[in-house]
Structure 1
Amino acid sequence: MQITDIAVTPVVIPMEAEIKGSSYQKENRGTLVITLETDEGVISRIHSGDVLDTELDKADQLVSFIENEIADILVGRDLFRIEATWEALMERSRKLFAYQTGERQLFVHAIGAVDIAMWDAIGKAVDKPLYQLWGGYRDEVPIAAIGGYYGDGRTIDDLIDEMVEYTELGIGGVKLKVGGRTPERDLERLAAIREAMGEDFFIACDANQGYEVEEAVDFARGAADYDIDWFEEPVVWHDQYAGMRTVRQRSTVPVTAGQSESTVESCRRLIEGDAVDIINLDASIAGGPTAWRKVAAMADAFGVAMAHHEEPHISMHLLASIPNGRCVECFHPDFDPVWHEMIVDKPTVEDGTLTLPDQPGIGLELDDGFIKEHALEL
């Protein structure tokens, strides 16, 4: 079965609510929509990535990479020779030299989108959901919301109301944003959530590289009293490897990182450096499911668990397919019109659990009218 065509449409949706983390803020939700076709009538239509949330100016380059650097490698290739295709695409990234780090990362982001489309097409070709093709370890996964963002005038009561709304949506917990205030203030927010929501409510904390090392250690030691599942990207980006190792050595809370990595090899560095207990690599950022599954196997061999940064449509399949997978991440409906509005008939979410779809491939249909309405004009 040969690939005959691939097309890309950048989509950007303004949000009513502004997101403020420790080191960033955004007012849009963006993604790439990929359509891949084969000579036997199999069509994949998927979406991938969130770089356009904050960097609309990167849309031109992402589209150019797919249309001018990737399409000529794909078209005419056997769909099922996915490892060989992935290697060929990564080989082309060598055209971007050391001073083009940003462009390299964007190119790998483009590879990730295309890799997801190829896997979706393979699932449709053999009439199997992806999680079953990849191992089928389970058919349901825990789900938590990324939330607790900072905001002008937001009170502790507002924070608790948000957590209650997650449970009403069937979501089992939160990945709480920290790192944008002092450790003491962030611990007050964490304590209030645990007290209000009880011991069965899942809580992880994500500093988005917002703390200095000593601040991260202080927060981790305090957070140990509130039974959090992990502490994500605890320290500033320029000291993250040694810094995360220090946080692990001086506290008992599991440390998570990986969403800022774009290669299998950089995740190996996290493991070899004793920097993490959990890797939350993002398949859309780091070269697709083909790359993510390589990291998951490596992590399993070293006793490291796998999470996934956002992208519930693909993370649910990856995390359900392996024994060392953790929970799927989503957003409140106000923060993610891609998941909540662009996807038709989302998977069932009840009692903190997402049930995987039975349909082949990713198993989700996209709303073409929504895509047309929000397509970015280049």
Structure 2
Amino acid sequence: MQISGLEVFILRGPEIDRPHWVSNFTVPTANEVLVRLKTSDGIEGFGLATSYTSAEPVLNAFRTGIGDIIVGEDPLAPERLYEKLFSLTSQRLAHEKGWGRETLVRISSAVDIACWDIMGKAAGLPLYRMFGGYRNTVPYYVTCGYYRDGKDDAELRAEIEYLKDQGHTGFKAKVGGLSLADDIARMQIVRDVIGDDCDLMIDVNRAWDLPTATEAVRLLEPLRPRWLEEPVRWADDRRELKMLSQRTTIPLSGGESEVTSYGCRALLEEQAIRILQFDVTMFGGFTEGRKMAALCELNHVEVTPHHDCFVHAPLVAATPAGGFVEAFTDPERDPLQAELYENPLAMANGWMTLNDDPGLGLTLSEAAIAKYGTQII
């Protein structure tokens, strides 16, 4: 079997009047590169690459010939193709073509996911079974509590009440964009609404210095967070995560901001985090994600990937180290979760049930692609 052709789309959500903010940047409603691989045997697979920055460098790489390196390769040998694409980050060709490292990492991710989708379809098995088949359900949480212009405590309370009424049982809210006192008060509102029986996760998005984080964990411990995510600034986060973990009983998490599996491995080696949140659509695809999941199991760390819950569910379901997947149930925040698939995974009472269709088990909606997508090649 060979890859005989590919199609590439950029999927963008509409501009909205009140963007969603985390502590230090605005998140797009959607900004994903969709790669569809076609094979000589008539099997097709797809993969996604997520970016919170401009996707233009990725699109330009496809416009300038990186697809020629992919066509003709064997999709049933994803390790080899992943290595071929990733190795371009150290080659002169990438410099001559203007293909940056992050661009190549994103492309290798989308192509790798598409190859594994093809692998599952060729074998007639869903990926969660090919990866290990530990279970066919995974718990999920909803990400909420974003900052928005004019959003006050009453609006926050109404948002969480609405989500609670939908039956969700895990809630991850944002902090780091206001004073510590104001953010603690916001998290108290979330805890009051969801009650003692639901999980509260808190995401700082790398906003705090170590002294602020140290004071924050003292104030947050009475709210019993399931975890505190990316609590310290990026520059010395390895060392500061280690130091912070020794000052609190709250589990720390991280990994979504890493661009390679080596960066995630370093986080594990520090023994500072108890939850790893890599994203296979942002680095490495399933080829590297499976290695990370194995390392997590061996190091007693939970696998709870960032974003794209339907893509990550097979990996989380396949391993005893599997934790949660991250859902965005507000279609204004993420219209792709709501519309990109004809057969999205069932979600009820805090649990997501995987489909038993081969591969990713997901069928793309052509209507959604036409609505949000622009074809590049």
Relative to the length of structure 2, the TM-score reads 0.93
Q: Which amino acid aligns with 1:334?
A: E
Cα shift at 1:69 = 5.7
Contact 1:167 1:352 in 2 (8 A): no
Aligned twin of 1:202: 199
Contact 1:209 1:236 in 2 (8 A): yes
Aligned twin of 2:226: 229
Query: Which residue, 212, 220, 224 being the options, matches 2:209?
Result: 212
Aligned twin of 2:88: 92
Cα shift at 1:321 = 0.8
Contact 2:3 2:37 in 1 (8 A): yes
Q: Which amino acid aligns with 1:295?
A: M
May I ask how many residue pairs the two structures share in their alignment? 372
Q: Which amino acid aligns with 1:89?
A: L
C-alpha separation in 1, matches of 2:62 and 2:169: 37
Flag the 1:101–1:326 CA change in 2: closer, same or farther, 3 A.
Answer: farther
Contact 2:23 2:204 in 1 (8 A): yes
Contact 2:251 2:275 in 1 (8 A): yes
Aligned twin of 1:35: 36
Q: Which amino acid aligns with 2:340?
A: M
* 2:17 is the counterpart of 1:25: no
C-alpha separation in 2, matches of 1:194 and 1:135: 36
Residue deviations 1:323-377, cap 9 Å, x none?
A: 1111111112220111102222311111111111111111112221221233247
C-alpha separation in 2, matches of 1:188 and 1:216: 16
Flag the 1:322–1:37 CA change in 2: closer, same or farther, 3 A.
Answer: same
Query: Which residue, 252, 272, 289 being the options, matches 1:255?
Result: 252
More divergent stretch after superposition (217-226 vs 66-75)? 66-75
Residue deviations 1:77-121, cap 9 Å, x none?
A: 2222111222222212212799x9992122101110111111111
Aligned twin of 1:10: 10
Aligned twin of 1:369: 367
C-alpha separation in 2, matches of 1:28 and 1:102: 26
Cα shift at 1:14 = 0.9
C-alpha separation in 2, matches of 1:106 and 1:171: 35
Cα shift at 1:275 = 2.9
C-alpha separation in 2, matches of 1:27 and 1:33: 16
* RMSD of aligned alpha carbons: 2.2
- Structure 2: segments with no counterpart, 5+ residues: none
More divergent stretch after superposition (15-24 vs 68-77)? 68-77
Q: Which amino acid aligns with 2:356?
A: D
More divergent stretch after superposition (261-270 vs 15-24)? 15-24
Cα shift at 1:30 = 1.6
Contact 1:144 1:327 in 2 (8 A): yes
Q: Which amino acid aligns with 1:49?
A: A
Aligned twin of 1:238: 235
C-alpha separation in 2, matches of 1:101 and 1:210: 32
C-alpha separation in 1, matches of 2:61 and 2:111: 11
Contact 1:49 1:311 in 2 (8 A): no
5 Å-filtered alignment, 1:41-60, equals 41-46=42-47, 48-51=48-51, 54-56=52-54, 58-59=55-56
Aligned twin of 2:262: 265
* 2:307 is the counterpart of 1:310: yes
Query: Which residue, 176, 180, 193 being the options, matches 2:190?
Result: 193
Residue deviations 1:274-320, cap 9 Å, x none?
A: 33111100001111111111111112211111110101121111111
Aligned twin of 1:358: 356
Q: Which amino acid aligns with 2:36?
A: T
- Structure 1: segments with no counterpart, 5+ residues: none
5 Å-filtered alignment, 1:264-343, equals 264-331=261-328, 332-343=330-341
More divergent stretch after superposition (212-221 vs 166-175)? 166-175
* 2:69 is the counterpart of 1:80: no
Q: Which amino acid aligns with 1:356?
A: L
* 2:183 is the counterpart of 1:183: no
